[in-house]
Structure 1
Amino acid sequence: MSTHLRRRALTVAAATAGALLTAGVIAAPAAADTGGEYSGSLSNGTTWLASVPSDWNGTVLLYSHGYTPSFAGGNWASVAPDDGTKALLLEEGYALVGSSYRSNGWAVPGAVDDQLQSLDAMLDETGLQPEHILAYGTSMGGLVTGRIAELAGDVIDGAMPTCGLMEGGVDLSNYQLDGAHAIDVLLAPGQDLDIEGYSTLGEAFAASGALQAAVQAGQQTPEGRARVALAAALYHLSDGVRAADAPTDPAVAQKSLYDQLLGTIGFVTPGRFDIESTAGGNATWNVGVDYTKLFAKSADRALVEQLYAQAGLDLRADLATLTATADVAADPGSVETLRASSGLTGELQMPVLTLHTLDDVLAPVQVEQEYAEDVRDAHRNDLLRQFRVDSVGHCNFTSAEIAAGIAALQSRVETGNWGLVGQSADRMNALAASLDDSGTAFVQTKPGEFLGDR
């Protein structure tokens, strides 16, 4: 821990002891003279940004941004997922800080340190002495926030992963492997497509193009469309519309799965190269996977069964074929590296509130089930609350929904209990609507079973 954050941990401990002797008298937070914009860099190349409102409320929000491919240009820090959310959080009085991480790509292994060191630098630069520090993040940054919640309880008071990859790097790669395996075996028989083990980025892009071509060819026939739907189901894709508007026509639902599948392949296949590069090799496998049992837990099972019946195909035979041809073995050292550097244990050191949209093609809502299971196994249930939003798209939250989540988390940190707001989607909607008019769609529903847990 850096010097400043060690000082803060000691200050918090002293303040806690003092509070027991002074009947709960709370001192006002010490703030910089004025608000403003701040920036800096760490010795490892990480850059950081901060925004401080003139009417600071005493809380600092540490924001962890999502995945930026290694092959994308630029490596920028950000303090919020979008300008609207940044403006609303500043209006509510929060000070904001976030870093670029030291590099693009699968930055999870070093991101926690980069974030905490950037927070330390920001506090030194601004002179702020916060009452509370909360962490939140988006997508890969949600996973980073999940790791902060298990590693930084002496510095951070609460955490809010949004659309987080809460299954961790190994299970993320495994469920995507299942979908790619279905395309390879059922839609490109005899072609032996490369679905893992990319030594160069060019190989990953070539594989992405081949997988997309197989899906496009399959979409031309009823049999192919049924198999496209099966592959999409293993990728945890859904119908691409709000739950309230779910299509009843299987052809419409299948077309949506097809459209989402093409885009998903184009993003996650090159992304696999970044993960494998970080892990030192292939950390994914399907040897021993029973695809009949796996698919039985799919949220899209009924649709796929209907499409197979219409096409006159034997779904059980195709699933048996997937099981019989499942021969991808992982490099044990790469699994160990990826699991240690980007896995979650559920051992929460602070209150955690998660947000997830119901229809997210890159961070499927089912990962929330896996995360809840980890937390339950670690006997930390009382520290976790999970909320879903009936919205379509990766991390497609309104500013009001983000601000409501942070407000509910801060209330939990300050009071020691979740209160009424932390128990109900309706109350979260009311809270969000009171903060901003950007819209709110919290719903009371549970995620389905995550298929990638090996």
Structure 2
Amino acid sequence: MPAVTRPRTPRTRLRIALAALAVLTSAALATLPSPAASADAGAATRLTGTLSDGATWIADVPERWNGTLLLFSHGFGPTVARNAPTEAVRLELLAQGYAMAGSSYDPQGSMWALNSAERDQFATLDAVTAKIGEPRRTLALGNSMGGLVNAQLARDGGGRIDGALGQCGLVAGGTDLDNYQLDAEYTIARLLLPGQDVKLVRFGSSAEAAATADLLTKAVTAAQSTPQGRARIALAAAFLNLPAWAPGQDRPAPTDWAGQEEQQYAWFAQGILSFVEGGRYAVEQSVGGNNSWNKGVDYAHLLSGSAHAPQVRALYRAAGLDLRADLRVLTEDATITADPAAVRTAERTSSAGQGLEVPLLDIHTTADNLVPVEQENRFAARVRASGDGALLRQAYVERQGHCTFTTAETVAALHALEHRVSTGRWDDVATPAALQRSATALGLDGAAYTSYRPAPLTVGRDHQAHPTQR
């Protein structure tokens, strides 16, 4: 990072955090079409409208519509209407005859728009079909936070949605997200900034969240210069479920512990904590308080369930640090409690997995820095517990980054979902080999589907339950 010659004001820190947010979420946010792009898509008609809560919607209908309408749920970020994950995907699907629609969600609310998103998506579906007629088939598509919305549509949309395709979805829900992120933030604050009172929850403004992000990022940057600091960064990264494979780098060897930590540090250096803290503020706005807690968490037990535990232990040994002592300090000093009403609101608005009414295919990159692939493990367990496991399929792309899918990977997954909806059977279309063949055959921009099983999500709390803290 460049040297800073004067103290940053809260307003400056806010600008930095928002800039980082824009960079980190760019893969998940579709680019609005330019007139030239619309022309390239052929004779497509652009429709727009406004819903009763002020949300806007857009739809593109090709001249030779194939009868399928795709309802796209966009990710965390500005509440602007989008109807495709990327411009390249939008153009390809228009060329294949699909109509596409999507809403902004309520622009008066938080960017964590789960209070309105599902409602606005169904209202968008009504508004669009009133103009173009009933589709032969309606499929939901969503990525990142919109992947959570998409899973809710698959749960609640029977009769209105025929199937759903999720990409890099935040399917573990808002409370799991805030809890494992809290564990990482707390570890950085307690072990790298001992004695300092660092505000981690109940932010009163986005500037407060940005100030915390700035403080924690500086602590990580300073700690990277010593073996002891790097061991503690690895511990925080384990609790964050942060992948040890960063963009533009070769994947470290399975026992290259130092190389793994270096690549985890690269994610921190790119500003991930600005995204985390900005997201926390937005979630707290949406659910009306703090929906995360660490009181009662046993951090030794938490680490023992992490796929990164061997790395952390090895780095602590190399640094001459007492891992058990650090974990004991974290456990004994964990006093943060949740606001019960906020937890209940998050359970109602910001969770999924309670069941499925239609087939759902989720795809995820294997090294996702913002929505860890381990969320898919958590979500699948919940869907199976609901009795709807046969409706769910999950597939994985070997790549670093959040929502970094090729157009071919997206289209192939959509075609696999259509097979399931048309035939009532998955057969083998959602297997890695079949998806890879299908994507490659499109002759577009390549594919990297792979056989993969995500590790359990390191979160240390049972589902959305929380201790009584009234």
Q: TM-score, normalised by structure 1?
A: 0.88
Residue pair 1:133, 1:158 contacting (<8 A) in 2 also: yes
Range with bigger deviation, 363-372 or 259-268? 259-268
State the SS of the aligned residue for 1:259.
Answer: helix
Does 1:43 pair with 2:52?
yes
Q: C-alpha root-mean-square deviation of aligned residues, in Å?
A: 1.6
Alpha-carbon distance between aligned partners in 2 of 1:403 and 1:346, rounded to the nearest angstrom: 27
How far residue 414 of structure 1 moved from its aligned partner, in angstroms, is 0.8
Q: Which moved more, 1:220-229 or 1:339-348?
A: 339-348
Q: How many residue pairs were aligned?
A: 414
Quick one: distance in 1 between partners of 2:311 and 2:44? 54
> In structure 1, how many angstroms separate the alpha carbons of the residues matched to 2:48 and 2:447?
32
The residue correspondences of 1:249-398 to structure 2 (distance < 5 A) are 249-262=256-269, 263-398=271-406
Aligned partners of 1:154, 1:256: CA distance in 2, in Å?
A: 46
Deviations 1:370-419 (A, max 9, x none): 00000110011110000011011111001111111111111101100002
Match of 2:252 among 247, 252, 268: 247
Partner of 2:115: 109
For 1:1-40, what aligned pairs fall within 5 Å after superposition?
35-40=44-49
**Percent of aligned pairs sharing the same letter:** 43
Q: Aligned equivalents of 1:157 and 1:377: distance in 2?
A: 22
Q: Structure 2 CA distance, aligned partners of 1:242 and 1:414?
A: 38
Match of 1:238 among 243, 252, 261: 243
Alignment counterpart, residue 96 of structure 1, candidates 87, 93, 100: 100
Q: Alpha-carbon deviation of 1:199? A: 1.5
- Cα displacement (A) at 1:244: 11
- Per-residue displacement from partner, 1:177-222 (whole Å, max 9, x unpaired)? 0100100111110012111111222211111111112111211211
Match of 2:222 among 217, 221, 224: 217
- The separation in 2 between residues aligned to 1:338 and 1:351, in whole angstroms, is 24
| 2:72 aligned residue | 63
CA distance 1:273–1:244, change in 2 (3 Å) = closer
Alignment of 1:149-164 (within 5 A): 149-164=154-169
After TM superposition, list the pairs within 5 Å mapping 1:408-427 onto structure 2. 408-422=416-430, 424-427=431-434
> Does residue 86 of the first structure (1) align with residue 69 of the second (2)?
no
* C-alpha distance in structure 1 between counterparts of 2:215 and 2:365, whole Å: 30
Unpaired segments of 5 or more residues in structure 2? 1-42, 462-470
- Distance apart, 1:243 and its partner CA: 13
8 A contact 1:77–1:98 mirrored in 2: yes
- Superposed displacement of residue 241, structure 1: 4.3
**Residue 455 (structure 2) pairs with residue 440 (structure 1):** no
The amino acid that maps onto 1:184 is A
Q: Secondary structure at the match of 1:447?
A: coil
2:151/2:353 contact within 8 Å kept:
no
- TM-score, normalised to structure 2, is 0.85
**What's the CA shift for 1:246?**
2.1
How far did residue 278 of structure 1 move? 1.1
Q: Report the residue type matching 1:287 in the other structure.
A: K
Q: Within 1, Cα distance between the matches of 2:442 and 2:103?
A: 26
**SS of residue matched to 2:116:** helix
**2:302/2:460 contact within 8 Å kept:** no
The range that moved more, 250-259 or 355-364, is 250-259
Asked if the contact 2:69/2:137 (under 8 Å) is kept, the reply is yes
Q: What amino acid maps onto 1:447 in structure 2?
A: P
**Alpha-carbon distance, 1:128 to partner:** 3.1
Q: 1:230 to 1:453 in 2, by over 3 A?
A: closer
Q: In structure 2, which of residues 432, 457, 460 is the aligned counterpart of residue 450 of structure 1?
A: 457
Secondary structure of 1:449's aligned partner: coil
Question: SS in structure 2 opposite 1:353?
Answer: strand
Distance between the aligned counterparts of 1:340 and 1:453, measured in 2? 21
Q: Secondary structure at the match of 1:421?
A: coil
| SS at structure 1 position matched to 2:115 | helix
Change (3 A) 1:243 1:202: closer
104, 127, 137: which is aligned to 1:121?
127
Looking at structure 2, the residues matched to 280 and 305 of structure 1 have their Cα atoms a distance apart, in angstroms, of 38
User: In the alignment, is residue 167 of structure 1 matched against residue 135 of structure 2?
Assistant: no
List, as ranges, runs of 4+ consecutive aligned residues in structure 1 with deviation greater than 6 Å: none
Correspondence 1:140 to 2:145: yes
User: Is contact 2:56–2:105 with CA below 8 Å preserved after alignment?
Assistant: yes
